Amino acid sequence: MRGKRIRVRPRPGKPADVKSVAEIVRELKGEGAPSSDYREQSLKIHGLICAKCGREFENKDRHLLTVHHKDGNHRNNPPDGSNWENLCIYCHDDEHSRGLLGEYLKGKGRGPTQD
């Protein structure tokens, strides 16, 4: 069995499978993930319905709804939801391909649309 040793190399920095206390606390407080946070907020405020095509979604399909920022500014997240629009992934795509924010998308590529 010589020479068949598998070396598990720990990542430099911190162990991958151990969460630091600070991280756990952050999670409990709901911090550290603002991007998914406003999504939940928006879905709660506006409901599981696409603002554009009016398609309604069930809870299990909620991942098909994305949160669009009306002014295109991700940092503008008023708690009343006035800058958010729930759009299905199709309408969201459509919205961004209209040129208004096309330039913006060009630079960033198309990831999961949470903008």
State the virtual CA torsion across 115, 33, 41, 46 in degrees, nearest 10: 30
- Residue 20 CA to chain centroid, in angstroms? 23
Query: Cβ 90 to Zn ion, closest distance in Å?
Result: 5
Closest approach of Zn ion to the CB of residue 115, in Å: 4
Angle at 36 between CA 21 and CA 97, to 5 degrees: 145
From the CB of 68, what's the least distance to Zn ion, in Å? 3
- Rank residues 26 and 55 by Cβ distance to Zn ion and give the closer one: 55
3-class DSSP string for 76-114: CCCCCCCCEEEEEHHHHHHHHCCCCCHHHHHHHCCCCCC
Please give the size of the binding site for Zn ion, defined by CB under 5 A. Answer: 7
SS3 category, 67:
strand
Least distance from Zn ion to the Cβ atom of residue 76, Å: 12
Scan residues 12-31 and list those touching Zn ion (CB under 5 A).
none
How many Cβ atoms from other residues are within 10 Å of residue 14's Cβ? 11
Q: Under rule CB under 5 A, which residues in 36-75 are in contact with Zn ion? A: 50, 52-53, 68
| Contact pattern from residue 82 through residue 101 relative to Zn ion, giving x for each residue in contact according to CB under 5 A and a dash for the rest | ------x--x----------
Nearer to Zn ion by Cβ, of 43 and 115: the residue is 115
- Contact residues toward Zn ion (CB under 5 A) are 50, 52-53, 68, 88, 91, 115
